Each structure stands twice: as C-alpha cells, then as structure tokens.
C-alpha cells in the first residue's frame, strides 16, 4: 500500500482508538504513544516524533517493544550486536543484504564517513537506518538517495548515532 493510502490511515486510526479505549478502561492507566505514531516513525523518513511522544516512548517499555517489532519486521537488513568477544570500535558491519562501513575523515578528525553498500543491486534501497545502543533507545538516521548500490553520509563524530554505530553492542536495522 502507498504511504498515503486513506484506507491504511483509517485502519491505523481504528487500531489507535481501540487500544486507547482499552487503556482508558484500566484503573490508573497513563496515556501511551499511539501505535500509528510509532508506525509512522518506523516507516516514514519525513516524520519526526514530537517531544511529548518521545518522552512517552522513552518511559514505556511496551511501546519500545512495539517499535522494536515494527523495525525488525520487514527490515531491509537487521544487524544484531556483535560477538561478546568483540572489543574496540566497529569499522564494518555486514549481512547478506548490506555492508556498513565507518571511516574516519582524513580532513577532519571530528568527522566520520558512513558508507552503506547494498549487495543486491536490484533491491529497493532502504530509506532509514536505526541503531540501538546497549540499553538505550532506537536512534534514527535518514539515508540519502543511493547512487547505484551505494550511499555515503558525513557524520559528526560526537553525535549519538555515530558513537552507537561504532559500538559492538549496538543493534542496527535498515528500513
């Protein structure tokens, strides 16, 4: 279905309404982030979580589990934590679908190049990269357009997602 399909939007709204009605019937239930908001965050690179929804997500383990399932289901590629014996920083992550590489910039040590290479040249490229550091929330990075089977981004080394990608305990999901 296209991202702007009115039937899909109506179905998501109905799921939200049902879930919210059930939660409201529970004594002392706090308002949760709507499932449709989690869905849009997972699939729409142009959608940003508002501050209130980001706080709700951070405080709700069930919503975090919902997001985890959304990201893993139908992911272009999922890269689990690396082996427990892995130490130091990660420079390369590889699956049967894609290869991620981190390369320090020679011109500026405060910058890192993130390369994404697709191994299936005919595959529809992913539009987002999600990274979850050990014990942390999912971080999102919108990917640029691919040239052939490759995309490259220049990241500032001190941002959360750059640090997460270099950590062997981080999970990565391409969507």
The CATH code for residues 77-174 is 2.40.30
pLDDT in tens, 2-30: 667 888 888 887 888 777 777 666 654 55
pLDDT at residue number 170: 95
Burial readout 100-119 (b: 16 or more C-beta within 10 A, e: otherwise): bbbeeeeeeeebbebebebe
Tokens of 9: 């939007």
pLDDT in tens, 50-87: 999 999 998 999 999 999 999 999 899 999 988 655 56
Residue 98: which of 82, 115, 116, 83 has the closest Cα? 116
Between 139 and 29, name the one with better pLDDT: 139
pLDDT at residue number 24: 64
pLDDT at residue number 28: 43
pLDDT in tens, 99-132: 999 999 999 989 999 999 999 999 999 999 999 9
pLDDT at residue number 88: 67
Side by side, the strands of the sheet bearing 171-174 are 77-79, 171-174, 128-132, 139-142
171 close to 81: Cβ distance less than 8 angstroms: yes
pLDDT at residue number 22: 76
Between 1 and 62, name the one with better pLDDT: 62
pLDDT in tens, 77-99: 999 988 655 566 789 999 999 99
Domain positions in the chain are: 6-72, 77-174
């Amino acid at each position: 279905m296209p991202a702007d399909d009115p039937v899909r939007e109506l179905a998501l709204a109905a799921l939200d309404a049902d879930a919210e009605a059930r939660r409201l019937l529970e004594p002392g239930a706090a308002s949760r982030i709507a499932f449709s908001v989690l869905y849009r965050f997972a699939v729409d690179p142009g959608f940003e979580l508002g501050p209130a929804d980001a706080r709700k997500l951070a405080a709700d383990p069930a919503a975090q589990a919902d997001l985890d399932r959304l990201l893993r289901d139908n992911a272009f590629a999922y890269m689990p934590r690396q082996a427990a014996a892995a130490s130091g920083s990660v420079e390369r992550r590889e699956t049967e679908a894609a290869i991620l590489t981190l390369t320090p910039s020679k011109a500026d040590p405060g910058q890192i190049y993130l390369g994404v290479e697709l191994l299936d040249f005919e595959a529809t490229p992913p539009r987002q990269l999600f990274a979850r550091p050990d014990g942390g929330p999912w971080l999102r990075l919108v990917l640029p357009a691919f040239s052939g089977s490759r995309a490259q981004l220049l990241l500032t080394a001190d941002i959360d997602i750059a640090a997460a990608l270099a950590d062997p305990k981080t999970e990565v999901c391409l969507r």
